[in-house]
Structure 1
Amino acid sequence: MSNNTATIKTRKNLVSTRTITMTALLAAISYVLAFLEFPVPLSPSFGEFLPFIKTKLDIVLFNALPFNILKGMVIGAITMMIYKKLTPILKGETWK
């Protein structure tokens, strides 16, 4: 194995180690911040507009979750429609 190949593998390992470390660090910070109580500017407007929303879980279940499901279905449908045309490009084949 040449020195250049070893250097490339070392750089790839370093990049993936950094990526994993940053992901773990940000996940830990998000986990801690999830349990801290701080005022969210939009919370009162949710309560006024939709009176059945009382907690943060209600905000997620009634506001974020349905739109994320809808978005996933739309993106999935678009992907299913264009996948056949993109298959040669994804497999590295040339145009015919």
Structure 2
Amino acid sequence: MKQKKKQYVIKEAYTDNYHVLQYIDGKLEGHNIVSYYELDGYIAALKNMGYIRAYYEREYHVKMLRAKEDYEFALADYEKAKESPLNLSDEEIERYRRITHSDDE
């Protein structure tokens, strides 16, 4: 008899809570919202039942594409800024940071 593939995925649910989804042979078998202080024990129990951690590859691929796009936009903006920089005194730099809530250090 073929052994079933047991996997679990952890996703952030809301403040200090996690959504833990359990799959057997690629089919969702259960899910739970677990608080941050219960997570370690909950995962230990899943591992004792033969579950291994898995990741939804498509989700991370999309995150990577978005990050790449954000980087490309930031790089284009930086190139424009290098062409025409704003020249400020130290005092004006501090004022600019306060007004714009900029933290460029």
TM-score range, shorter chain: 0.3 to 0.5
Q: State the structure with bigger RCO (CA 8 A, min sep 6), 1 or 2.
A: 2
- TM-score between the two structures when normalised by the length of structure 2: 0.32
Hey, which of these two has a bigger chunk of strand by percent?
A: 2
- TM-score between the two structures when normalised by the length of structure 1: 0.35
Hey, which of these two has a bigger chunk of helix by percent?
A: 1
